Amino acid sequence: MSTQGLQLAERKLHHSPGQENKHADRRQQHLDRQEEGGELLFKLIRNDGREDHMQWLIDLKNLYSKQLPNMPKDYIVRLVFDRQHYSLVALKGGLNGRLIAGITYRPFYTQSLGEIAFCAVSAHEQVKGYGTRIMNKLKEHVMNDTEGGERLDHLITFADNNAVGYFSKQGFQKEIVLDKEKWSGYIKEYDGGTLMECVLGESGRPALPSNSEMKEQKSEVEQIVQSLSKDKQLFNGLEVFRSLPEGEYARVDPKDIPGVKELGFIPNDPPFKILHSSAGDGTPTTENMHGFMREMVRIVSQHQDAWPFREPVDSNEVPDYYDVIKDPVDLSLISRRIESQRYYANLHMFAADFARMFNNARVYNGPDTIYYKAANR
Catalytic residues: 115
Query: Taking Cα atoms as reference points, which of 153, 174, 178, 176 lies closest to residue 165?
Result: 174
User: Looking at 2, 19, 96, 162, which residue binds ligand ACO (CB under 6 A)?
Assistant: 162
Strands 150-151 and 154-160: unpaired
Specify the residue, 128 or 290, whose C-beta has the smaller distance to ligand ACO: 128
User: Looking at 91, 119, 156, 361, which residue binds ligand ACO (CB under 6 A)?
Assistant: 119
The answer to whether 214 contacts ligand ACO (rule: CB under 6 A) is no
Taking the complex as a whole, how short is the minimal distance between the CB of residue 285 and ligand ACO, in angstroms?
53
Taking the complex as a whole, how short is the minimal distance between the CB of residue 210 and ligand ACO, in angstroms?
11
Radius of gyration of the chain (CA): 33
Which listed range, 124-132, 148-156, 214-222, 249-257, lies at the site for ligand ACO (CB under 6 A)?
A: 124-132
Specify the residue, 11 or 26, whose C-beta has the smaller distance to ligand ACO: 26
Backbone dihedral region of 264: left (phi > 0), alpha (psi from -120 to 50 degrees) or beta? left
User: Looking at 42, 86, 108, 118, which residue binds ligand ACO (CB under 6 A)?
Assistant: 118
User: Looking at 160, 197, 216, 353, which residue binds ligand ACO (CB under 6 A)?
Assistant: 160
Residues 49-108 interacting with ligand ACO (rule: CB under 6 A): 67-68
Residues 6 or more apart in contact with residue 252 via CB below 8 angstroms: 238, 240
Binding mask 125-154 for ligand ACO (x = CB under 6 A): -xxxxxxx----------------------
The answer to whether 163 contacts ligand ACO (rule: CB under 6 A) is yes
Size of the site for ligand ACO (CB under 6 A): 25
Q: State how far the alpha carbon of 120 is from the alpha carbons of 116, 125, 210, 306, 359, in Å.
A: 11, 10, 21, 80, 72
State the chain's maximal CA–CA distance in angstroms.
100
Taking the complex as a whole, how short is the minimal distance between the CB of residue 125 and ligand ACO, in angstroms?
7
Specify the residue, 94 or 165, whose C-beta has the smaller distance to ligand ACO: 165
Taking the complex as a whole, how short is the minimal distance between the CB of residue 130 and ligand ACO, in angstroms?
4
Specify the residue, 153 or 160, whose C-beta has the smaller distance to ligand ACO: 160
User: Looking at 24, 177, 324, 352, which residue binds ligand ACO (CB under 6 A)?
Assistant: 24
User: Looking at 92, 169, 182, 294, which residue binds ligand ACO (CB under 6 A)?
Assistant: 169
Taking the complex as a whole, how short is the minimal distance between the CB of residue 242 and ligand ACO, in angstroms?
35
Taking the complex as a whole, how short is the minimal distance between the CB of residue 40 and ligand ACO, in angstroms?
12
Specify the residue, 24 or 363, whose C-beta has the smaller distance to ligand ACO: 24
Specify the residue, 91 or 338, whose C-beta has the smaller distance to ligand ACO: 91
Which listed range, 45-53, 80-88, 157-165, 316-324, lies at the site for ligand ACO (CB under 6 A)?
A: 157-165
Specify the residue, 67 or 360, whose C-beta has the smaller distance to ligand ACO: 67
Question: What would the 3-class secondary structure string for the chain be?
Answer: CCHHHHHHHHHHHHHCCCHHHHHHHHHHHHHHHHHHCCCEEEEEECCCCCHHHHHHHHHHHHHHHHHCCCCCHHHHHHHHHCCCCEEEEEEECCCCCEEEEEEEEEEEHHHCEEEEEEEEECHHHCCCCHHHHHHHHHHHHHHHCEECCEECCEEEEEEEHHHHHHHHHCCCECCCCCCHHHHCCCCCCCCCEEEEEEEECCCCCECCCCHHHHHHHHHHHHHHHHHHCCCCCCCCCCCCCCCCCCCCCCCCCHHHCCCCCCCCCCCCCCCCCCCCHHHCCCCCCHHHHHHHHHHHHHHHHHCCCCHHHCCCCCCCCCCCHHHHCCCCCCHHHHHHHHHCCCCCCCHHHHHHHHHHHHHHHHHHCCCCCHHHHHHHC
Taking the complex as a whole, how short is the minimal distance between the CB of residue 88 and ligand ACO, in angstroms?
12
User: Looking at 38, 165, 259, 267, which residue binds ligand ACO (CB under 6 A)?
Assistant: 165
Chain contacts with ligand ACO (rule: CB under 6 A): 23-24, 67-68, 116, 118-121, 126-132, 157-160, 162-163, 165-166, 169
